[in-house]
Structure formats: C-alpha cells, structure tokens
Structure 1
Amino acid sequence: MDLLSAVIRTVRVGSASGRVIKQPMSSGIKLPAFKGTGFHIILHGDCWLITENEEPVALKPGDVVLTSSGGEHSLSPFPCALDALPALVPGTDSPPGPYAFEFVCGAYRLEHGQSSPYLRALADLIVVSPDYDRHPEMRALVDLLGADLSGARTGTGATLPALLDLILVHVLREWSEQNDMGEWPRTDDPRIDAALQAIHDNPQRPWTVQRLSETAGLSRTAFSRRFAAAVGQPPMSYLISWRLSRGAQLLRDTDAPLASIARRVGYATEFAFAGAFRREYGVSPGRFRLQPATSCLADGVSAESADAR
C-alpha cells in the first residue's frame, strides 16, 4: 500500500516555508523545536549536526537532515554543546561572510493537528546522504529550491509546496532504500495494512471496529490490539485523524463546499464535520481554509508568521 503518498498528503496541510541560510566561520546556529516536518540540505561547506543526547554527526555538501517531527537541533562548523549556540532569528539576513557552510531549509509547519503517526514513529532527526549520481533528479530539485528561495520571486507560493513534496518523497525513498525498509512506510502486519488501506481508500464508509476487523480477517479484540501495537493508536482514533487530515487537505486544495467535503470524509453533515475539525485543529474549517498555505523566507525576505526553518 502506498502510505508514503498518504504521509505527504498529511504534512501538506501545514504551512510551507523555506529559506537559504549562510553561516559564518565563527558560530553555528540552533534551530528550535517546531510542530511539523522539514529538512535541511547542505549546499556548500562542511558542518556538524548537534543534538542534545547524541554524538555530533559530520555533514558534507549534499547531505540531508530530515526533521520528521520538528525536534530541536543545531548546525555548527565545529562540534559543541547544543545550548552553546544562538537560536535562529526569524526574518533576518545572513550575517557577513566568510561562510563556513550554507544550507537550504524547507518545512511544513502545523499550526493545528498532528503530523503523520508514521513520521512520529521515526527517529526525530535522520541524516540521509543521497546518491546524486543514481538520482540526478534530486540534485535538480535541490537546485530549483535554492534558486527559488534566493530572492523574492513571483510564483513561489505555488512552487514551494511542490518542491517540498518532491524532495520529501525522494529523501524518504532514499532513506528507505539505504536502510532496506522495502515499501516504507508500512506496518509489519499485513492484516493491519489491509485495514489501513481500506481506511485510506474509503474514509467515507461508515467504519466500525467490527467492520475493520472483518476487513483484516481478525476478531475484534485481536484486531484492536494488533492495530494499536502497529500504528500507535486505536482504530477509531486513527480513522478520525485520517478523515480530518483528508478534510484539511481538501479545504486547502479545492473549492468544494463544506457539505461536500464532509460527505467525502465520512461525516453525515457539515455541522458534524465542523465540530470534529474544530476539536482536532482548534479552528473552524472556514478559518482554516483562509489561512495562508505558504510562508517563504529567503535571505533578506521576512514574514511575520513563520519560524524561518
């Protein structure tokens, strides 16, 4: 089952942001924790990934740091303690050179809701060294993202989410191949995969635990236990989360009426959908739809509402 596509759809409901950062020889920079998923790609120079509980990891040009759940970390030209570095200030220009290293950031910041349970199950910070000779399209995507963020350019609100999606897909595929993960993300239980596939393909159906257990070919008790162990939450909680995540995506990507979206994700009325959406996202569907989907931060370009990660 293609859960990777489902993961990308989940993160896409966040606000897309990006920035190119040039870091001087004298100091590194701390990137505070944030709610969402993102990455850094080293463009020039060497540096170190600094975290609170792990040994520093050496990074070279082309390496990618995937922040699956937005954990706090630092990038530095030398090994040091995490708290020894200053925090990134949103909307500021890069300080004067010479520069030790340069990197491009991309992130989906979630103002409401939660990231995919599959991303939350990963290590919070993953280093990937893509094979650019084998996958030259990855280098082209990185070049496009860097060029798009290097100045105020028209159309970035459309190109940024598309580039973030493509880079995240390529990074996760590469990580999967390097770690022999097969068709990641997936569970280790084919019966639970069958139920997940049914939920993802047909969220509008009147699913119950009993019906899902029948789809999986298990008793209700065994299904509930195995689903929670594989996915990290009970079946109905996952169903609700997926329905609302799919609804959030439709709110962002389409002009469909609220009543139509409600039916497509399994709610009998728009009022029932709106109430569940507000409980999950902390905001009404209409207000969510009006929120900006992108927040681009290139060097010298600021935006009040973004973290510039």
Structure 2
Amino acid sequence: MDLMSEGLRGMRTGAVGSRVIRQSGAWGLRFPAFAGSGFHFVLHGSCWLITEDQEPVALKPGDVVLTSSGAAHGLSHAPAALQDLPPLELGPFPPAPGPFDFEFLCGAYRLDHGQVPQYLRALPDLIVVSPDADRLPGLLALAELLRVDTSGKGLGTGATLPALLDLIVVQTLRQWHDQHDATARWPKTEDPVIGGVLRMVHEDPGRSWTVGGLSEAAGMSRTAFTRRFTAEVGRPPMAYLISCRLGHGARLLRETDATLATIARRTGYSSEFAFSSAFRREYGMSPTSFRRTPTELGA
C-alpha cells in the first residue's frame, strides 16, 4: 500500500502556495512551525539550514530542504541561532529586484484545518536532498517550471501549482528513500496483510467497515489485528478509517460540486448531519465553510 500517495492526496485539502525569495549581504530568515508541509529549493548561491537542536547544514544550488510536517527552521548566510533570525513575512510577495547573492524557491501546503497525514509525521522533521542530475534530471526541470509559474501567475496556475508541488515532493522523497534505504523507515507498509486491508479501505471508504469485518478480511482475531494494524500504521483501525473517510470527503468538497448528501453517502455516513458533525470535529469548521475557503496563498 503506497501511503505516500495517500498522504499527498490528504495534503491537497489544504491551501498551496509558492514564492521565489532573494537575499543579499548578511541575511537570515526564520520559518515558524506550521500545520502542513513544504520545501525550499536552492536556485542560486549558498546558505546554511538552521534548526533548534542540530548543527547547521550547508546548502548549495540544487539542494532541496523538505519540511515534512511543518517544523520550525531557518536559512541564513552564516551559522546562527534559530531564535536570532527574523521571521519571514508570509504573503504573495514578488522577489526583491536588483542584484542578489542568494535565491531560493519555496513551496508549501498549509492545513488550517485537519492534521498532517501520518506518513509525513513519521518522516524526519527536515530532510535535505542533493538531487542526482543523472538519475533524476526531472527534479531540476520541475523547479524551473515552478519558478516560472510562480513568477507569472498566469491562467491555469490553480491547476499547475499543486501538480508541480506534488511532483517535486515525490521526486525528493524518492531520492531520499534511495539514499537511506538501509536505515530509514520509509512511510509505507511492507506488511502484505495490513497493506491489503489499507487498499480495501482506500478503494471503498464508504463501505460499512467495522473492526470485526476488517480483522476477518485479514484472517486474524480482532485483538491481534488491532495490535498489528496500530503498530504498522500508527493509529487504531477505526481512527484511521474515520480520518480516511473525512479526508476523502474533504477532497470531494474541494474538487467536485457534489451535494453534502452525496458526499455523506460516498464516505460512509448515514446523513448530512452525521457527516457534518464528524467533519467539524476533524477540521474545526463545517463542510460548507471548508468548501468556500481559498486553496491558494503566498508561501
């Protein structure tokens, strides 16, 4: 079961943004913690990645920093303490004009409602990848496409922006996985039994699943299945099922004009009221309000 793909689908329920930032001279920026995921792609110059409790990491052109679940961090022309760096002012600001020493591209998914998917939370807080141009030449091309798209803000940006963010994150994670294959815990299940159950749930989230039914499909007792599922996925079966259903509902709200009654049926809820109540508990707002919230912002 490819939990990476499912996790990225979950991130699409949030707002997406991208921005090119340029700096010169002595500079530093702090990125406060946020609910979501994002990345920085170094386009020109060099800098240092600053965190609260790790040694600074030198970055060069082509390097990618992936913030898997919104951990606080900073970028600076020289090693520094994170708390000493000024916070970045968020917004769709154009890059500073004139000569510059350093240029980087930011992309982010921001979840004002709901939680970062489990597979992203299982990754290290910050991942640094130096792309292999011979093996993954597409990553550099994708960064250039995103830079041009971000600078232009032309027609179709609402479609291209999330697609480009998805592709850059996937390419980055693939290379990170290859480089850490011997030691990293890749966020997917290698357990064929649990993988089969996850596939059934994701293919038909609206079905009347129960722990008993899932454990029977897995050929295990309820107790053994619940223990094994929780250890492998990080959440109990019903908690995962509810999150999956509501995530599917959030995507339907964002991507379709389906009525609440239709979405409720397709996500396994008996009524609009039941779906709306569960959705409000998970996302902190009604389905109608969620559908109306913007899906683009400044990174």
Q: TM-score, normalised by structure 1?
A: 0.91
Match of 1:86 in 2: 86
Name the SS for the 1:53 alignment partner.
coil
Partner of 2:266: 264
Provide the residue aligned with 1:17 in structure 2: 17
Paired residue type of 2:251:
Q
Inter-CA distance 203–211: structure 2 relative to 1 (3 Å threshold): same
Alignment of 1:75-154 (within 5 A): 75-91=75-91, 92=93, 94=95, 98-154=99-155
Q: Which moved more, 1:88-97 or 1:106-115?
A: 88-97
TM-superposed CA distance for 1:191, in Å, is 2.1
Encode CA deviations 1:161-202: one digit per residue, 9 max, x unaligned. 111111112112222222227995312433222221221111
**TM-superposed deviation, 1:291:** 1.0
CA contact (8 A) 1:28 1:74 kept: yes
User: 1:217: how far off?
Assistant: 2.0
Instruction: Please give the alpha-carbon distance, in whole angstroms, between the structure 1 residues aligned to 2:25 and 2:66.
Output: 24
Residue 99 of structure 1 aligns to a residue whose secondary structure is coil
Is the Cα–Cα contact under 8 Å of residues 64 and 129 in structure 1 kept in the other structure? yes
- Contact map agreement 1:21 1:104 (CA 8 A) in 2: yes
Question: Which stretch shifts more, 158-167 or 177-186?
Answer: 177-186
Report what 1:254 is aligned to.
256
Shift of 1:263: 1.4
In the aligned structure 2, how far is the partner of 1:204 from the partner of 1:84?
49
Amino acid paired to 2:260: L
Shift in Å, 1:292: 1.1
More deviation, 250-259/107-116:
250-259
Q: Which residue of 1 aligns with 2:162?
A: 161
Shift of 1:158: 2.2
* C-alpha spacing 1:136/1:183, structure 2 compared with 1 (3 Å): farther
**8 Å contact from structure 1 (residues 36, 107) kept in 2:** yes
Q: What is the Cα deviation at residue 98 of structure 1?
A: 4.7
Aligned pairs for 1:220-259 (under 5 A) are: 220-259=222-261
Counterpart of 1:49 in structure 2: which amino acid? L
Q: Unpaired runs of 5+ in structure 1?
A: 298-307
Residue 58 (structure 1) aligns with: 58
Secondary structure at the counterpart of residue 168 of structure 1 = helix
The answer as to whether partners of 1:77 and 1:100 remain within 8 angstroms in 2 is no
**1:279: Cα distance to partner?**
1.0
In the superposition, the TM-score normalised over structure 2's length comes to 0.94
Cα RMSD, aligned residues only: 1.8
Displacement after TM superposition at 1:265 (Å): 1.4
Q: Is the 8 A contact 2:31 2:87 kept in 1?
A: yes
Q: Which runs of 5+ in 2 are unaligned?
A: none
Could you tell me how far apart the structure 2 residues matched to 1:193 and 1:236 are?
Answer: 16
Report deviation, 1:225.
1.2
Percentage identity across paired residues of the two chains: 61
Give the match for residue 211 of structure 1: 213
Q: Which moved more, 1:191-200 or 1:138-147?
A: 191-200
Count of aligned residue pairs for this structure pair? 297
